[in-house]
């Protein structure tokens, strides 16, 4: 699950920090996601969307690409992102991250944003302007099949809304069957 946290924090760090099949409505496969009301897809080839899109956010995500898309177990995942920060971000900024596996909440934690941006070679204070980043993380082989939904909401030290991003990733059961894991 650290990989999903890093994915979200990398995208947020970009502005401070689609595979269309992941966002397409697929009534025959309940594991496939849809864009929910209040969300807007982010340009690029990724399952990332802006959540709470109707609310003013101090960060604008211009592009997020991930390779491979969709992410694969046991493979490196590279995230490349471009965005614009509209106000200074100083020490004390934070990000609330929730990761769900179906209806089960795996992670619900608050992180110091300035500590986390070091993972993408940035440091606070983050000045207004354009940011570009690229980060590679490993997706463990042991990730169980299913639907994972990540929400990351970032705030300044004064509780101004920096950004809200969400990503939905589906790891299919079929890839586990190929490995001889699970039921036939």
Q: Which domain holds residue 62?
A: 2-178
CATH of the domain at 70: 2.70.220.10
pLDDT digits (tens, 9 = 90+) for 86-130: 999 999 999 999 999 988 999 999 999 999 999 888 999 999 999
* 78-89 average pLDDT score: 96
Q: pLDDT at position 10, please?
A: 43
Answer yes or no: are the C-beta atoms of 10 and 135 closer than 8 Å. Answer: yes
DSSP-derived pairing of the beta strands 40-41 and 146-155: unpaired
Q: Would residue 25 count as lying in a domain?
A: yes
Q: Would residue 139 count as lying in a domain?
A: yes
* 39-62 average pLDDT score: 95
pLDDT bucket at 182, cuts 50 / 70 / 90: very low
pLDDT digits (tens, 9 = 90+) for 148-172: 999 999 999 999 999 999 999 888 7
Q: Is residue 183 predicted with pLDDT exceeding 50? A: no
How many independent structural domains does the chain possess? Answer: 1
Instruction: Classify the C-alpha dihedral 65-69-71-74 as positive or negative.
Output: negative
Residue 144: name the closest of 103, 91, 181, 97 by CA: 181
Instruction: Return the ∠ at Cα 100 (arms to 98 and 105), rounded to 5°.
Output: 80
Q: Would residue 77 count as lying in a domain?
A: yes
């Amino acid at each position: 699950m650290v990989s999903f946290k890093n994915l979200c924090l990398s995208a947020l760090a970009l502005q401070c920090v689609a595979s269309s099949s992941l966002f397409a409505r697929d009534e025959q496969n309940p594991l496939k996601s849809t864009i929910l009301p209040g969300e807007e897809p982010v340009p690029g080839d990724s399952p990332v969307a802006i959540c709470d899109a109707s609310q003013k956010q101090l960060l604008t995500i211009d592009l997020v690409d991930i390779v491979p898309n969709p992410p694969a177990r046991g493979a490196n995942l590279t995230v490349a992102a471009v965005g614009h920060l509209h106000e200074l971000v100083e020490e004390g900024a934070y990000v609330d991250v929730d990761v769900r596996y179906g209806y089960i909440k795996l992670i619900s934690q608050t992180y110091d944003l300035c500590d986390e941006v070091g993972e993408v070679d940035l440091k606070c204070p983050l000045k207004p302007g354009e940011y570009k980043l690229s980060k590679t993380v490993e997706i463990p082989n042991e990730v169980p099949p299913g639907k994972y939904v990540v929400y990351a909401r970032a705030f300044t030290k004064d509780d101004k809304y920096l950004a809200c991003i969400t990503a939905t990733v589906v790891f299919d059961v079929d890839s586990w069957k190929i490995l001889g894991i699970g039921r036939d």
